[in-house]
Structure 1
Amino acid sequence: MPRQEDATQLLDRLANDPQYDLAETLRAIIGWLRPPDPDNIAPVIARIEDLVLALGDRPELREHLRDRLEQGLEDARHLTLYTGIGLFSRKGFFREAAELLYERINPRPMDRADLRDVLYHVFHDPKDAIWVARLPDDAWSRLLQALGCLSGEHPGVLQRAREEALYALEMLSIWIAAEELEPELLRLDPSIAERNSAFVAQEREISAYVRDYRLWLEDPDYERVDDRHARVLLEQCKEQIDRLRRRAITHGNSLSLTHLMERLDQTLARIHKLLDLLEPNSGDEPRQAAVGVFRDLVTISARSHGVRALWQDNIRLVSRSVTQHVSDTGEHYITRDRSEYFQMLRSGAGAGLIIAVMALIKIQVEALGLSEGWNTLWVSLNYGLGFVLIHILHFTVATKQPAMTAARLAAAIEETERGTADPSKLADLLMRVGRSQFAAVLGNVGVALPTAILIGLFASSLFSAPVLSSHEIDYLMDSLRPIMGLALFFAAIAGVWLFVSGLIAGFFDNRCAYLDLPGRLREHPLLRRLLPEASRHRLADWIGYNYGALIGNFLFGVLLGVTGFVGYLLNLPLDIQHVAFASANLGYVTASEAPGLLLFGLFLVFVLLIGAVNLWVSFGLALYVALRARGVRMGAFGRVFRAYGRHLRKRPREFLFPPRTAPTSDGGPGDETDAR
């Protein structure tokens, strides 16, 4: 369609061609309004104004166009518009994706009597979702009023719309009531099957509301029941869904359960929208509600033209089901006061001690001259079993923290967006996260480095030979160089694996809770014969608490071990650099060939740079996924960082060292009278 066509020419074309029905008329108008750049809505607003003026100058054409649109709206089916668009399907992701792909290849013919198909036909460009969402409500209101869609002068259209909205309202309410019989929900909370549950109560109230509303339509003098009690019950349903989400963290989640609860949320929101539409009071509020619903439906319909939107929505659900557990775990990696801070320091020191030994084992394994496959196997086992041992002994690998703490920070940001927290508290949380990670890094590096030096000196004295050959010294020193040795690139790879291991741990923790693995182990027939009851229960509780962490730590070690082998297969320079192992390697180099103080200091800085990349890559990826999973807006960060700056200026010492006691509930500092 030529872009040079003005509003008058558009109206002439619509008036003179008898083939234009409801669908084609709206498609032509939206095609004329559609901007070349979906991010720039200024041309759309200008064209709407031109169209409004052109319709005002030609009242006879405006009436003709209004009659055509109103006749189409009166004859069309509205139900699927309210119950089909914007609500997750009960078919599941894979079946729905297959159907969407088939529709792209062999689309079914459009049903011109179905408003859902008409909307899909009119807003056929996937980019329509962008500019439609950006266009303000008043612009849509002016357009719809100019076309006569909000005039209320055609009683048949209003009657049809009300009847369809009432029927949709009743059907959606029944869907919610029926969901309480879902086994997934009953597993989380068997009490929802009680006769007086909120799900069933809202259906009864909505049914009474619909019945009274229809009687009121027949007799305007009939005293109609308002929707206030129905909205209260809908809020109770929302609260019940929130409780189920919290229970899912401890009882286990699944994609189908997350999908179900998201669908319940969508259905409740749609019922609220329909109640807004059905508000019979005169004034601007019903019209504003109609414009808002129209824009929402158009945006969702435009997004549904491909599999991408479906994929994004379901990936978000998968991410949320995993990161919920990671967020809960992340709270344990954040220190609040000095006792917890020193505990984190001791925990990091213990891990540094073991990592120094693991680094030596890796050096000795690689010195054996094994084939690439066998070398990868033993190095992976060294990493994996070593990290498992660190976890069993309750020690902390510093770079394991970000994947956990980022999810906790995202949860707090989500609370801020919902109005239950404030930037000051988030800044305090961010301060505690950074301070906790510093303590763990200090413990790891501060112990791994001197322990490696001592082990190297002891071995040199015992065997009268340095622990490293000159070739190994050169190799380890070169591998620590940030740019020439690709150390920062390899550190980024390790950061990715740290992030992945956090997701793995969250997935298996969630799976353990979902399957009730401790309960199964307590009653396992074989274990009942082998172990007494008390031992069996202790074993079940221990596995239940550590299941995800054990698998996540072991697979993290495997990922570190196989990276070099993948590089060997692909003939690419792939390896990993981890701050604790890098500090241990520097220690063994120092013990074998004492470098000068300046050179040692330089390479220590290189080690710290490796640690920074480890931390920020894993933290950034984890925070990004957690934010996307929770659908959190990014706007809160500016306020949070400003509050963080104020916190840092007021109490700079807390950047690296905590107060004696934890902050009070209002986010202020605790008692620091003895903080000297």
Structure 2
Amino acid sequence: MPALHPLLEAVAAAPDSSDPALLVELVAALRPVQANDHEDARNRLCLLIDVLRSRPHLALALRAYLASVLAARNHSFFFAESGILGNTGFFSELRHRIANRILPPALDARFLSDLFDELFVREDDARWLAAVPDALWQELLAALGMDQGPLDAGQLQLRHEIGEALRVLACRLAALGLEPEMVRYYPALAQYESPFLAQQREIELLILPAAPGAVAPDQAHAAVLLAQCREALQRIRKLSHEGGAAVKLSWHLMRAQQIIERMDVLLDLLLPEAGAARLPAASRFFCNLVAAESRRGSVRELIRDVTDLLSLQVTEHASRTGEHYVTRNRGEFFAMFRAAAGAGVIVAGMALCKNFIATLHLPPAWEALGFSLNYGLGFVLVHLLGFTIATKQPAMTAAALAATIGQQGSGAVAEMGETIIQVCRSQFIAIAGNVLLAFISSLLVAWLWLFGFGHSPLPVEKAQHVLHDLHPWLSMALPHAAIAGVCLFLTGLISGYYDNKAIYNRVPDRLRRVRWLRHLLGAARQERLAVYVEHNLGALAGNLFFGFMLGCMGTLGFMLGLPLDIRHVTFGAANLAYGLAALDFQLPWHDALILALGVGLIGLTNLAVSFALAMKVALKSRRLRFHQGGALLGYLLRQLVRRPRDFVWPPRS
């Protein structure tokens, strides 16, 4: 750091200057070359401390210079806004951040936030600052003489700015407590004394200057009221799990939580103890401000923070649906097979219709619409009849497994292992029911078609093309199966979203108020319709969207010139049967085995991709990290050796 001495001498030449240029150079001199080099950061700060100790006039000049720079700027709004969501709403804030990324805002010398923008220009500055121990910060303050005697004018101004920031935050928190979205879930906020309003009055008393001889208000009371506000937010969040949630409510909940956390920090900084007692909180607060300013324009951070809570509501509904896809006894196991078998029969018909639509050689848009309606209406029919498509289950069971981890913690390895074993055999029997019945039904349809019309339902050329698309390494079968897995994952999110939407917008209650529907169906049928929509709107919407995603994928690839398409295991089994029948089973046995292997690999890819994506989102939405993957894998391997049958067949009890 050869420029440190001349830099401090330049500061000493003009200690009353409010120009931050020298401070920018000082921070640049203290910044390590690599943000991860924490030792370098500590060494640079130690060198500064040694210089200030050896030359007291430089320390006095630097202290005066810092006071001049800080006194020229407003602090309160920076303390009240940095790292806290704004009151403009999610989409307005998103547009604002995108615009600032394209054209950065101009700097304003009146505000402390713009000074931070000048000083900490790298996004990783917060990392090396946070690595500096509290003892070293204490030594720096001592070297500057800030721990001696009564508070000087600059420190008194800082306390005043913290009090003003508390006033601003208290008013904003009180306004949030009166938002209709919050009162809707917690009517007690409007019926009784609201802690959101009470804390605002208490903060006002706390920061007002006390009259001579008067007893200063107790800060503990303000902390209690903030704790009550936090409990109200937790209750609203819990109720929103059952009543649905929207982006606006998620925004309000997260903003209120951030405000309370910031007020807790500022109250700690206002405690009347010595400066040394407040130093750890002050250093953490400083590093958090630097980190928040580095992320202030991040679009990714905004989307992640706001959607985490909303995705929790979506995956919460998906997890409840996923519980129905886990079989725990033999009765449920065979019921799952019957449901999957029924879906396999319907898929055989859907595969025949899809191949028939393809032979019409319609224009691309109309062909995509035909494929989409065939898939979508077929999947809706499967659901209406109470059947199940096996590949839809991973997106649901992953959410259910993540919910189990959240309830039991990462230490309940045995219970989670048993849940995974149940999921495995449930998935196995569902796949078996889909694939076997789709294959058998397609062979039966092909035989009946041949008996009735004298020819196979598929021309030989089309059959050869269909069979080639199932080859695991001579075609794009596996990449296309992965695309289908992504579509299956999105289906789970869509289902959870519409389940959440139905409850949040109270669609069943609104259906009960439709008069013409009551006259058309009668009161009893209208009630049954409302109850059915409440429990099945998400599944119907998910099936319809899934069908349109599958139907449009090939056309989208054609329009973009990309090799986009889908391969689904159940349709693959049906197409294998139709193709073999069209070729009159004149196919070498080893080729038939390779195609059967291709169908199996397609199914494995479908399941793996959809489950992995759904599990990642479900864990992320609950902010969970599972650290015992090795222990869980070891438990599953031991159970696979001891009782391998349990992975595909339920025990007697």
Looking at structure 1, the residues matched to 609 and 648 of structure 2 have their Cα atoms a distance apart, in angstroms, of 29
Residue 450 of structure 1, aligned match among 413, 435, 440:
440
Q: Deviations for 1:630-668, whole angstroms, at most 9, x for unmatched residues?
A: 4x26xx33314423422541465677737999xxxxxxx
SS at match of 1:304: coil
2:626 to 628, 633, 637: 637
Selected match of 1:398 from 378, 390, 394 = 390
Larger displacement relative to structure 2 (63-72 or 128-137): 128-137
Deviation of 1:288 after TM superposition, in Å, equals: 0.7
Q: Tell me, yes or no, if the aligned pair for 1:55 and 1:62 is still in contact at 8 Å.
A: yes
Q: Report the Cα distance in structure 1 between the residues aligned to 2:496 and 2:352, rounded to whole angstroms.
A: 30
Change (3 A) 1:402 1:63: same
Given that 2:90 and 2:251 are in contact with CA atoms closer than 8 Å, whether structure 1 keeps it comes out as no
- Identify if the C-alpha distance between structure 1 residues 513 and 657 changes in structure 2 by more than 3 Å, giving closer, same or farther: same
**Mapped partners of 1:19, 1:281: distance in 2:** 29
- Kindly provide the amino acid, as one letter, of the partner of residue 547 in structure 1: L
Task: Select which of 525, 528, 545 maps to 1:555.
Answer: 545
Is the contact between residue 338 and residue 433 of structure 2 (CA under 8 Å) also seen in structure 1?
Answer: yes
Which digits, 9 at most, give the CA deviation of each residue in 1:419-471, with x for residues without a partner? 69755544444444444333322322232223323333343344443343322
Cα displacement string for residues 502-530 of structure 1 (whole angstroms, at most 9, x for unaligned residues): 22222222222222111111111321332
Are residues 611 and 81 of structure 1, via their aligned partners in 2, closer, same or farther at CA, if it must alter by over 3 Å? same
Amino acid in the other structure paired with 2:121: H
Give the corresponding residue for 1:107. 105
- Tell me whether 1:615 sits opposite 2:604 in the alignment: no
Q: Is the 8 A contact 2:484 2:568 kept in 1?
A: yes
CA shift at 1:137, angstroms?
5.3
Matched with 2:514 is: 524
Contact 1:427/1:640, CA 8 A, preserved across alignment: no
Per the alignment, residue 218 of structure 2 pairs with 225
Q: Following the alignment from structure 1 to structure 2, what is the Cα–Cα distance between the partners of residues 145 and 643?
A: 51
2:255 to 259, 263, 279: 263
Which residue in 2 is equivalent to 1:485? Answer: 475
1:389-538 equivalent positions in 2, closer than 5 A: 389-413=381-405, 422=412, 424-538=414-528
Q: Displacement of 1:324 after TM fit? A: 4.1
Structure 1's 614 and 100: CA in aligned 2 closer, same or farther, altered over 3 A?
Answer: closer
Counterpart in 2 of 1:299?
291
What is the CA-CA distance between 1:557 and the residue it aligns to?
A: 0.6
Relative to structure 1, the CA distance from residue 438 to residue 278 in structure 2 (aligned partners, 3 Å threshold; closer, same or farther) is farther
Give, in whole Å, the separation in 2 of the partners of 1:325 and 1:390: 20
CA contact (8 A) 1:349 1:443 kept: yes
Q: Are the counterparts in 1 of residues 203 and 222 from structure 2 also a CA contact under 8 Å?
A: yes
1:133-163 CA-to-partner distances (Å, cap 9, x unmatched) read 5666556555555555666764434433333
State the alpha-carbon separation in 2 of the partners of residues 53 and 222 from structure 1: 44
1:268 Cα offset (Å): 1.3
Following the alignment from structure 1 to structure 2, what is the Cα–Cα distance between the partners of residues 295 and 86? 11
Q: CA deviation at 1:613?
A: 1.4
Letter of the 2:228 counterpart: Q
Report the Cα offset of residue 551 of structure 1. 1.4
Q: What SS does structure 2 have at the residue aligned with 1:638?
A: coil
Question: How much has 1:99 moved relative to structure 2?
Answer: 4.2
**Once the 2 structures are TM-superposed, how far is the Cα of residue 386 of structure 1 from its aligned partner?**
0.7
Mapped pair 1:93 → 2:85 = no
Distance 2:415 2:13 in 1: 64
Q: Which amino acid aligns with 2:646?
A: F
- Report the Cα offset of residue 491 of structure 1: 0.7
User: In the alignment, is the contact (CA less than 8 A) between 2:377 and 2:547 conserved in 1?
Assistant: yes
Helix, strand or coil at the partner of 1:268:
helix
CA distance in 2, matches of 1:171, 1:558: 50
Q: Report if aligned partners of 1:508, 1:551 keep a CA contact under 8 Å in 2.
A: yes
Matched, 1:242 2:239: no
Label 1:148 to 1:519 Cα distance change in 2 as closer, same or farther (>3 A): farther
Shift of 1:543: 1.6
Offset from partner CA, 1:314-337 (integer Å, 9 cap, x none): 454554454443344333333444
Shift of 1:22: 7.1
How far apart are 1:486 and its partner, in Å?
Answer: 0.5
Q: Aligned letter for 2:460?
A: S
Which residue number corresponds to residue 173 of structure 1? 170
Give the secondary-structure state (helix, strand or coil) at the position aligned to 1:488: helix
Give CA deviations for 1:356-393 in whole Å, capped at 9, x if unaligned. 22112222332344443333222211100111011112
CA distance 1:147–1:658, change in 2 (3 Å): farther
Q: Please state how far the C-alpha of 1:50 moved relative to its aligned partner.
A: 2.3
Between the aligned partners of 2:322 and 2:137, the Cα distance in structure 1 is: 45
> Out of 649, 670, 674, which is 2:638 matched to?
649
Aligned partner of 1:80 in structure 2 is 77
Comparing 399-408 and 611-620, the one that deviates more: 399-408
Distance 1:360 1:66 in 2: 82
Please list, as runs of the form range in 1=range in 2, the aligned pairs for 1:183-222 lying within 5 A after superposition: 183-207=180-204, 209-210=206-207, 214-215=209-210, 222=215
Contact 2:15/2:61 (CA < 8 Å) preserved in 1?
A: no
Q: TM-score, normalised on structure 1?
A: 0.86
C-alpha separation in 2, matches of 1:544 and 1:269 = 37
Q: Is the 8 A contact 2:428 2:648 kept in 1?
A: no
Moved more, 483-492 or 315-324: 315-324
Q: What is aligned with 1:667?
A: none
Structure 1 residues 95 and 145, CA, compared in 2 at 3 Å: closer, same or farther? farther
2:538 maps to a residue whose letter is G
Return the alpha-carbon distance in structure 1 between the equivalents of residues 38 and 14 of structure 2: 29
Q: Which residue is equivalent to 2:243?
A: 251
Q: Does 1:590 align with 2:580?
A: yes
The 3 A distance-change label for structure 1 pair 196 and 439 is farther
Paired position in structure 2 for 1:330: 322
Check conservation: 1:141, 1:288, Cα contact below 8 A: no
Deviates more, 1:139-148 or 1:431-440: 139-148
Given that 2:404 and 2:416 are in contact with CA atoms closer than 8 Å, whether structure 1 keeps it comes out as yes
Q: CA deviation at 1:412?
A: 4.7
- 1:668 aligns with none
The 1:350/1:54 distance shift into structure 2, 3 A limit, reads farther
In structure 2, list runs of 5 or more residues that go unmatched: none
Q: What are the superposed Cα offsets for residues 252-301 of structure 1, whole Å, 9 maximum, x if unpaired? A: 32111111111011111112212222233347542111111111111101
In structure 2, the residue matched to 1:669 is none
Change in Cα spacing, 1:649 to 1:22, as seen in structure 2 (3 Å) is farther
Q: Deviations over 1:152-211 (max 9, x none)?
A: 764434433333323333432332233232111222232321223443444455455556
**Amino acid of the residue matched to residue 349 of structure 1?**
A
1:363 is matched with which residue? 355
- What is the aligned partner in structure 2 of residue 50 from structure 1? 47
Contact 1:22 1:68 (C-alpha < 8 Å) held by counterparts: no
